[in-house]
Amino acid sequence: MAAVPELTSEIMAFHSDDNDLFFEVDGPKQMKCCFQDLDLCCPDEGIQLQFSHQHLNKSLKHVVSLIVAVEKLRKKPIACSQAFQNDDLKNFFSFIFEEEPIFYETWDDDDYVCDASVRSLNCRLRDGQQKCLVLSDPYELKALHLNGQNLSQQVVFSMSFVQGEESSGKIPVALGIKGKNLYLSCVMKDEKPTLLLESVDPKQYPKRKMEKRFVFNKIEIKNRVEFESAQFPNWYISTSQANQLPVFLGNSGGQDITDFTMEFVSS
């Protein structure tokens, strides 16, 4: 058999004691493979690889070691009598690689956190009687008629599009007060769904998956919108018929005003 040329330092860098097992000669169902490059010939049998069907659990480093060695040997001026083609590598790849299934985990919706940026729009709201919404104290909104310079008192909402149970005609949103760390939320208070302004950590809000108490289903009806609580279906952001009263969470079907016009403003 022709002497195999000494492997270069690039090949030896991949070598370890474990590689000896990978290139073992003795093993069950031994097979011999003789391959040579074009324009090369050898006086005897050429370069022989012997490999085993035995599963050896070798790492990718061992596979790389073999492939690099083969590629280096193909470029050496070794005499050969048969042609060695690139496709010949495919013949023994099935003995190197073993197909295995890929398993992955799934998460429940409650555990899923989406890191995508939250899309938000700035807007002002007026109820069906054209009353404006203003911040009367740090944690209360009121609806009242404004004109002239007083219009600057209107609250600007940062309406964020968030995760929720989307359905036909309903878009889940969260309503924050622009420039403040406050969000409208719906909680049970004195056994009744209640609208609050809740202070939040500005480093964490807004986020794509808001807690359900912050989520409202925006419903568009012609040129008006309603905001239904996701936490309490059929309860809506509402204003009273009277002037200068707090904004609250009202049940559908009463005399309360639940429809608003929305004016988008630049950021």
Q: 47-66 pLDDT, tens per residue?
A: 565 666 665 566 667 777 77
pLDDT number for residue 108? 47
Read off φ and ψ for residue 123, nearest 5 degrees.
-155, 160
The band of 30, judged by pLDDT with boundaries at 50, 70 and 90, is: very low
Fold classification of 135-264 (topology level): Trefoil (Acidic Fibroblast Growth Factor, subunit A) (2.80.10)
SS percent in the chain: helix, strand, coil, step 5: 15, 35, 50
Give the C-alpha distances (Å, rounded to integers) separating 107 from 103, 104, 110, 163, 166: 14, 10, 8, 15, 20
User: pLDDT at residue 1 above 70?
Assistant: no
User: For residues 248 and 196, what is the distance between their CA atoms, to the nearest angstrom?
Assistant: 8
pTM score above 0.75: no
Domain spans in the chain, listed from the N-terminal domain onward: 135-264
User: pLDDT at residue 234 above 60?
Assistant: yes
pLDDT number for residue 187? 96
Annotate 67-94 with b (16+ C-beta within 10 A) or e (fewer): ebbbeebbeeebebeeebeeeebeeeee
Q: 157-189 pLDDT, tens per residue?
A: 999 999 988 777 899 999 999 999 999 999 999
HSE-up of residue 245 (Cα within 13 Å, Cβ side): 11
